[in-house]
Chain A
């Protein structure tokens, strides 16, 4: 359940943004999650909700966009979207390769309330 430690990191980033804006309450955090990140978004959402209790992010929505995997073939250097756990180049048939997309775990935006959150609610 590495989602719990990832949720802690996401919360820290979001609280930092809130802190830079006077401790405003966090309404929404938007992520990009790569298909190769081995993150279960629903677990991450659950962990984030638990971690954010009694902070400026309590009740905030965690939303995400999934980024598909893209692999560069180790043989012919073509890039392709793998269709299976075995990365097999549709051009030359070579297996394996280097992931060029799909390993993302990025916070793209944090939405803050115009009204500041209650005093003491920033962790």
Chain B
């Protein structure tokens, strides 16, 4: 099944979105957003992968895997971490101001 890793990436994106919709707790929502984004890591890394190739550091034996997508994945991880931090800070503010972290209750409070 030579396309399986790509489908895993698509699955992670959709299951992350599913979790966001199903969520009853904003911290859970933030983690689901991070999972949806991790689909892009899997997609990028599987595009650059080659059977039998080693890590993209010179001196490694044989061919190396694609370093450009690995660099993109690193950027992606940093962005994901910063987004998660910012969203968690927002959750703390929401919890303080409304005394709840359930998205449905927020909806009812604000009408």
B partners with A: no
Q: Which residues of B contact A (CB under 8 A)?
A: none
Q: Which residues of A contact B (CB under 8 A)?
A: none
